[in-house]
Amino acid sequence: SAHSHGLVIYILKAAHTMQASTSMRGTSLRGSPFQAKPVRVSRVGRVGAVTVEANKKVLKKTKVILTTDVDGVGMTGEIKVVPVGYWRNYLLPNARAEIASSTVLETIRKAKEDVIRKRLEEKAQAQAFANALSTIAKFTLKKKTGDKEQIYGSVQASEISDAIYQQTGRDLSGAEFVVPEIKSTGTYECQVRLHPEVLATFSVVIVRDKSLTVKVTETKAAKK
């Protein structure tokens, strides 16, 4: 600590001053009982003892697991080595961490394995469905069109999601779709993200809904 370090410096300076003072007087240390004590071997030994004790205090640390985010230390779940005093005076009373005992570390290891296993299973399921979408290949949507097969309105992701649900029974209403700009009938390549690492590709076929076909010329004539 700063106090112990200051004490060591003070003792060394005092010993040096007394030795210099005795030398200036031309007398030996042994001949001066008043000045003999500060430079005895036992004094030097005490200085060493103070230094060792200070070092021991600095080295006292413990391994903990953070139970909340701690500024300047780490995030929740991280294992950190911190000074024992910091652990006892701040982390422990404020429930910010707990000792990383072998039992706790084993529990964390198993929990991480379970999470990894679950993620792998989810990815595998997503990949399997992506393969199914590619196998089905095409999902058909009927749209109202004009004379030149131009569709009215646009194709929404919800329409594609409904078409997939009707053929597969899988609800993708909350999934992220990538749909190109569709203005007329035809076949278009679309994508849907089933997992952070799985992007499925499939085709959407836009066909004319004959029951809703409207001729542009008739529409203009009616307006006139």
Tell me, letter by letter, the H, E, C secondary structure of 85-141. HHHHHHHCCCCCEEECCHHHHHHHHHHHHHHHHHHHHHHHHHHHHHHHHHHHCEEEE
> What's the pLDDT tens digit per position in 166-196?
999 999 988 999 999 999 999 999 999 999 9
- Name 61's Cβ contacts closer than 8 Å, sequence gap at least 6: 81, 82, 83, 84
Interatomic CA distance for residues 166 and 175, integer angstroms: 16
Q: What is the pTM of this model?
A: 0.53
CA distances, 83 to each of 63, 74, 152, 182 (Å): 9, 14, 69, 63
What is the average per-residue pLDDT within 121-144?
Answer: 91
Q: What pLDDT is recorded for position 108?
A: 84
Interatomic CA distance for residues 1 and 135, integer angstroms: 71
Say if residue 218's pLDDT is above 90.
no
Q: How many Å is the Cα radius of gyration of the chain? A: 40
- Name 174's Cβ contacts closer than 8 Å, sequence gap at least 6: none
Q: What pLDDT is recorded for position 80?
A: 92
> What's the pLDDT tens digit per position in 48-103?
555 555 555 556 899 998 988 999 999 988 899 999 989 999 999 999 998 988 88
**pLDDT above 70: percentage of residues in the chain:** 68
Rounded (5°) CA angle 216-187-158? 80
Q: What pLDDT is recorded for position 9?
A: 39
Categorize the per-residue pLDDT at 36 as very low, low, confident or very high, splitting at 50, 70 and 90.
very low
Question: Which of 61, 66, 71 shows the shortest CA–CA distance to 96?
Answer: 66
Categorize the per-residue pLDDT at 13 as very low, low, confident or very high, splitting at 50, 70 and 90.
very low
Q: What pLDDT is recorded for position 52?
A: 52
* Element (DSSP H or E) covering residue 202: strand 198-208
Say if residue 27's pLDDT is above 90.
no
Q: How high is the mean pLDDT of the chain?
A: 76
- Give pairs for 33-39: CB < 8 Å, separation 24+: 38/14, 39/15
Q: What pLDDT is recorded for position 169?
A: 92
Query: How many other C-beta atoms can be found within 10 angstroms of the C-beta atom of residue 204?
Result: 22
Which position has the higher pLDDT, 33 or 167? 167
Which position has the higher pLDDT, 191 or 35? 191
